[in-house]
A and B are shown apart, each in its own frame.
Chain A
């Protein structure tokens, strides 16, 4: 299924497979179009996938690159964990956590950057760049270092310190912009027109976004070539949300898996919920907002794929919900205490929305549900501060016993 062209999602105009992302005729987004596959033998295709490497490159047949790259950080093939204790707490049946914190730079961004960087090298770029809320910054800096490319990473100046440190360490040109993510994104959109750089989420965005399909492919494969009934995904720009759906659709169309596209539930933070607000109001467009939330990795007030995310949630019988900062902290804690997985704020948003759906009775106990945990708790450590107590004692048995009795009395 080789990539054939870039095609406008709005007017279907086609372009060559180079570094571009906007239709010059109508300004619509461009997507990779693949040549139709003839005489598909699903069994042969499944065997071919299963013989591949334990990374996203086992799905090279479905990605917009000429060949899998060499000498890069291996992204993907992260665990899909059955979460029975969390399911019990929420009154759900078959629940799985796709833990994408288990990637080289601890978020799903390793997938999309791997694909964008591979294509950028094929196109001859020497420098890659991005506008980032943090996770992407880590991934671009790391993957550029591994590939020996130069990189420029633009972040909002108020980003969590952990994400800043975990970017600078890779030796990138780190640019802190005095403004929010949407300001950074606007600046980078302007810069991308003036520099010969591969901005992974701007001029390379059609390739980059394809990387998120691998989350769907892995889920299907890890479920023994079966589909979930429902997925819960965080929404920032809406790219991950819509491309996970595309991944399921492609494999259903090819006969690699039988069944229907799952129901799609999107998760946003109340402090930045342009897509959830549009869903609730029955609108097919998003009004931009100024983000104010602890979920900084989801703090995109002007979501590029918002209209498509709305379409998907409605067409699949799902919804897009939002949760408060307190609910996000509770979500992080609930996941940690029932699964042993410590997620960042975006994962807290996802778990909190999952809990909300369960409480509302939207999920039938007979459903197979997958929740996508897209990032690592160590990157947003502040959210854990003050949520538990620790005892400090002298290094003596007596001191321990005394503290232990005192705590037992309190409890």
Chain B
């Protein structure tokens, strides 16, 4: 299942400058694991104890995965996963 992941500017140093990556996976967790497999440094920057660090937000087609099923949220072919810093706004 090919899913497109949007990479924020703050992480592009770890993705060889890429702003987007297409990876396979049937859940958000699998998609992120596939991304870490491709860009090893990403894991230490946004993941912690098997989950995400507390200031990392992940969205599937614009919806925060905490309103869905977290890392177990299913994704389908053509979905867009977006990683963003949580410390914005207010």
Residues of A within 8 A of B (CB): 10, 20-22, 24-29, 131, 181-183, 185-186, 188-190, 192-193, 199, 201-202, 205, 236-240, 285, 287-288, 290, 300, 302-305, 307
Contact = CB atoms under 8 A, between A and B. Distances in A.
A12 B38 CA distance: 28
Interface string B7-49: 0111101000000000000000000000000000000011000
Nearest to A298: B90
A70 B90 CA distance: 26
Interface of B is mostly: mixed
A27 B44 CA distance: 10
Contact of A302 (B56, B57, B62): B57
Interface residues of B, number: 26
Pairs of residues from A and B, 4 with the lowest C-beta to C-beta distance, nearest first: A237-B90, A193-B9, A29-B87, A185-B89
Interface in B49-80: 53-57, 59, 62, 64, 66-67
A189 B84 contact: yes
Given A24-B11, A201-B90, A307 B66 contact: no
A193 B7 CA distance: 10
Contact of A205 (B8, B57, B82, B87): B87
Interface of A is mostly: loop
A302 to B, nearest CB: 7
Interface of B: 6, 8-11, 13, 45-46, 53-57, 59, 62, 64, 66-67, 82, 84-90
B12 to A, nearest CB: 9
Contact of A28 (B55, B66, B82): B55
B90 A193 contact: no
Given A193-B8, A302-B57, A26 B45 contact: yes
Given A193-B8, A288-B67, A21 B88 contact: yes
Contacts of A131: 88-89
Contacts of A290: 67
B53 A24 contact: no
Nearest to A131: B89
B55 A186 contact: no
B4 to A, nearest CB: 14
11 contacts: A26-B53, A27-B55, A27-B87, A131-B89, A181-B89, A185-B89, A188-B88, A189-B8, A201-B88, A238-B90, A307-B54
Contacts of B11: 24
Contacts of A302: 57, 64, 86, 89
Given A26-B53, A27-B55, A29-B55, A183 B88 contact: no
A342 to B, nearest CB: 24
Contacts of A205: 87-88
Contact of B89 (A20, A27, A300): A300
Nearest to A183: B62
Given A22-B10, A26-B53, A28-B55, A287 B89 contact: no
B66 A287 contact: yes
A217 B86 CA distance: 29
A31 B68 CA distance: 31
A22 B85 contact: yes
Nearest to A300: B90
A189 B88 contact: yes
Contacts of A300: 89-90
A27 B9 contact: no
A300 B62 CA distance: 16
Contacts of A185: 88-89
A10 B53 CA distance: 11
A20 B53 CA distance: 19
Contacts of A287: 66
A190 B82 contact: yes
Contact of A189 (B53, B62, B64, B85): B85
A313 B56 CA distance: 23
A300 B64 CA distance: 14
Contacts of B9: 193
Contacts of B55: 10, 22, 26-29
A190 B81 CA distance: 13
A239 B55 CA distance: 15
B10 A304 contact: no
A230 B61 CA distance: 43
Contacts of B46: 27
A201 B6 CA distance: 22
A27 to B, nearest CB: 5
A315 B13 CA distance: 37
